[in-house]
Structure 1
Amino acid sequence: MLDFDQVHREQQALYPAAEPVWQPGWQPVHTVYVPADRFSAGTVAAWGEEALGLVKAHLAGPDELAGVFGVPDGIAGDVHGRLVRKLAAEPVEDLRVDFEDGYGGGPDDEDGHVDQAVEALAAMHAAGTLPRRWGLRVKSFADGDPARSTRTLDRFVTGLAGRAGGLPEGFVVTFPKVLMEAYLGMFAGFLQGLDDRAGRRLRFEMQVEAPQTVRFLRAGLTCGGRLAAAHFGVFDYTAAIGLPPHEQRLDHPACDHARHVMQTAYAGTGVELSDGSLAASPASGSAEDVRALWRRHAGLVRHSLGHGFHQGWDMHPSHLVSRFATVYSFHLATYDSYRERVRAWRERRPVGGVLDEPATIRTLESALRRADAALG
């Protein structure tokens, strides 16, 4: 006979985020990837300064913000003020030093670039400028050289932990192109061997960049709780399924399908989800080109938010402007109405003819908590 209590405990362990008392932690709205051979202790500050310069040149006030991003007049001033303050104080919430696709160095250069990254991150940690979440992306096992990937990770973790007296809070490693289910267990096992030197239990995020990966997403939950997030990789994925180059875009229906499968696989588990990137920068420094880039990126961010993906990749300082402006507008546009619906439900009174179900109230409360975290 089945033991109900045991089954219920298993349910709570497998789906902690489905429990009414579960409170989601802070999740960054983006991840910024910087090639390791171009990263320094001043990179984050430089991105913020460039983004602020673009705002001052092409987005001077709320009226321009409303015109470029379609932000309602009632919240345009608030969004603009938050945007400027954010870019000045915290332009990057989540940073990855990239040793994979974006990395321009060869095998003979990699150790040196690891050491340079360690020095830069140690300096940022000492100065208090390390982003709230940070880490690196290693080479894929699918490249056929797992020793290179693990050597870089070992050197990075050991070096920084030694410099900082332990690995600072917020560290995560990105594991790309997981083309075989077995790679997940292998990588998790390697992380376990680094725990002592890191001074903490290491976790990783997997990239979903191929159709076969979609078929074994649930295997990530068998890695002893080390899977922290799953990030969608738009360009590898769309290439793998044969889409033509001009259709390699985040808002393609094929990408929507993959993301929805990701949501289905990880719903209730607490594994975070992130969307991918726009591989474009302004064609020039003219207002027309900068604003065209912002409009395109903002449309993709809105698409992701509307599909329940609250994090994405930013690949250029200009993306910070459209990212934060769109996120702030998304949350502020509904914040007051969501809060009133929750209050009305608790007070058992109708509001606007809406009869909310308990599940909807939990969703509204979750949206408000996410908004509070994003609006800071």
Structure 2
Amino acid sequence: MGQGQQEQVATSLAGTVSEEISASLAPVDAELERRYPGDPGTRQPVHTVYVPGDAFAADTIRSWGDQALAALDEHAPDAASFAAVLGLADDLAEPVYARVRAKLEREPIEDLRVDFEDGYGPRPDAEEDETAARAARLIAQAYENGTAAPYMGIRMKCMEAPVRDRGIRTLDIFLTGLMRAGGLPDGLVLTLPKVTYPEQVTAMVRLLEAFEKAHALEPGRLGFEIQIETSQSILAADGTATVARMIQAAEGRATGLHYGTFDYSACLGVSAAYQASDHPAADHAKAIMQVAAAGTGVRVSDGSTNVLPVGPTAKVHDAWRLHYGLTRRALARAYYQGWDMHPGHIPTRYAAVFAFYREGFEQAAARLARYANRAGGDVMDEPATAKALSGYLLRGLDCGALDIAEVARLTGLTRADLEGFAAPRRGDLTASAK
């Protein structure tokens, strides 16, 4: 057959076959869209800082930034000394150090949770009432005057019987205070800790629905994070993955799954000296969380380290190396968020994040540019990889590791282009696997 001759096309199936199959799979199509809508495409903070309710003040965010800068001044006053502590490559030392200092001056905390649970503990009701009202007032003022973190909210007490009423009341006082101060801020985040049964998630959904109705808010306006801190939240008595059922029980309101390093480890009987985010028990729990959350739009966050960078310089450096290593390890495993417990942790949080995105930036940009321009290369990429590459660059942009000008220069793409590659249609990804 000549090259210019048109190919003859023949089929054997009646057109009704395809129609019947499509009709039979319509419920599955709808279920896929409902259960697995994909990532929301919004910014994910690189960390969550939690501050006890009684310690939270109007200047907390600025104070943490100043304390972190002071720690750098004392223990790593220049790029070379900081790089030596963390083992940064020579070409990363200056850009990472400069960006860390700029971040601490501009936006030291990306996500702040005022804690009314373990970090706050049991208090007289009148005291917790007042603290919750105060937290609402200060957060509302911070958003009004431009000093807020991109994300802020509270961690309430859990839904277990001894503290359930107290947790509900604190949440009510806090949310009511925000409404009275002008409404719910866009960056509002709520955290429900120590969730063991899906029914506790359902109870949280009903609670938020009641608040929305009381204030004539749009249904679904309030979402929440689920903190995974018990073995039962990973594996139920019947052998099923409880965390997957929790996501469904949230009815679309779950925004994140946060791993609780120390409660979870203690629940499994791990000795205190070995309770860490890189323990095999932690890896197992987070892997289950990650698979359960994949495609649902619910994001996974790592936990924290309780080794504080305080004391003599040698001790601070040891704690910095530990925190940096744990953060880099988490990033490689696609846990793009973690918890920080002390101002001294945030220099190494940002150093690890910035180094992660900057050291792979040029290669990722080049690969995405080749894909976008349909050019050849030594790696054959497809839509799923383009999604990963653009997601990597977008996360780097959001946290300040990368600048849009340098990304545009190496990729020839705008942010809108990146967002388009990061959120392909489901059919595009399915076709790429064929």
| Band the TM-score falls in, shorter-chain normalisation | over 0.9
Note if contact 1:166-1:198 (Cα within 8 Å) is conserved in structure 2: no
Cα distance in 1 for partners of 2:135, 2:243 equals: 31
Note if contact 2:364-2:389 (Cα within 8 Å) is conserved in structure 1: yes
- Indicate yes or no: 2:395 matched with 1:370: yes
Note if contact 2:261-2:276 (Cα within 8 Å) is conserved in structure 1: yes
Match of 1:97 in 2: 114
Runs of 5+ in structure 1 lacking a partner?
none
Partner of 1:77, secondary structure, is: helix
Cα distance in 2 for partners of 1:41, 1:193 equals: 30
Q: Which has the higher contact order (CA 8 A, sep 6+)?
A: 1
Cα distance in 1 for partners of 2:45, 2:60 equals: 18
Residues 221-275 of structure 1 deviation map (CA, whole Å, 9 limit, x = unaligned): 2322111111000111111111111110101111111111111101011101111
Partner of 2:133, secondary structure, is: helix
Q: What's the CA shift for 1:339?
A: 0.9
Say what the alpha-carbon RMSD is for the aligned residues. Answer: 1.7
Runs of 5+ in structure 2 lacking a partner?
1-19, 235-240, 403-434
Match of 2:178 in 1: 160
Cα distance in 2 for partners of 1:242, 1:185 equals: 29
Q: What's the CA shift for 1:306?
A: 1.1
Bigger Cα displacement from structure 2, 135-144 vs 246-255: 135-144
Matches within 5 A, 1:112-191: 112-142=130-160, 144-163=162-181, 165-191=182-208
State TM-score, norm by structure 1. Answer: 0.93
Cα distance in 1 for partners of 2:309, 2:353 equals: 20
Note if contact 1:132-1:170 (Cα within 8 Å) is conserved in structure 2: yes
- What percentage of residue pairs aligned between the two structures are identical? 39
Match of 2:230 in 1: 210
Cα distance in 2 for partners of 1:62, 1:283 equals: 20
Q: What's the CA shift for 1:213?
A: 0.4
Match of 1:290 in 2: 316
Q: What's the CA shift for 1:198?
A: 8.3
- Indicate yes or no: 2:380 matched with 1:355: yes
Tell which structure's C-alpha radius of gyration is larger.
2
Aligned residue pairs total 369
Residues 88-113 of structure 1 deviation map (CA, whole Å, 9 limit, x = unaligned): 01101101000000004513321121
Match of 1:276 in 2: 303
Match of 1:256 in 2: 283
Cα distance in 1 for partners of 2:174, 2:109 equals: 21
- Indicate yes or no: 2:60 matched with 1:43: yes
Q: What's the CA shift for 1:349?
A: 3.5
Q: What's the CA shift for 1:59?
A: 2.0
Match of 2:337 in 1: 311
State TM-score, norm by structure 2. Answer: 0.81
Note if contact 1:177-1:209 (Cα within 8 Å) is conserved in structure 2: yes
Note if contact 1:166-1:199 (Cα within 8 Å) is conserved in structure 2: no
Cα distance in 1 for partners of 2:174, 2:203 equals: 19
Residues 27-84 of structure 1 deviation map (CA, whole Å, 9 limit, x = unaligned): 0000000000111111111111000111122222221122111221112211111111
Tell me which amino acid in the other structure corresponds to 1:323: R
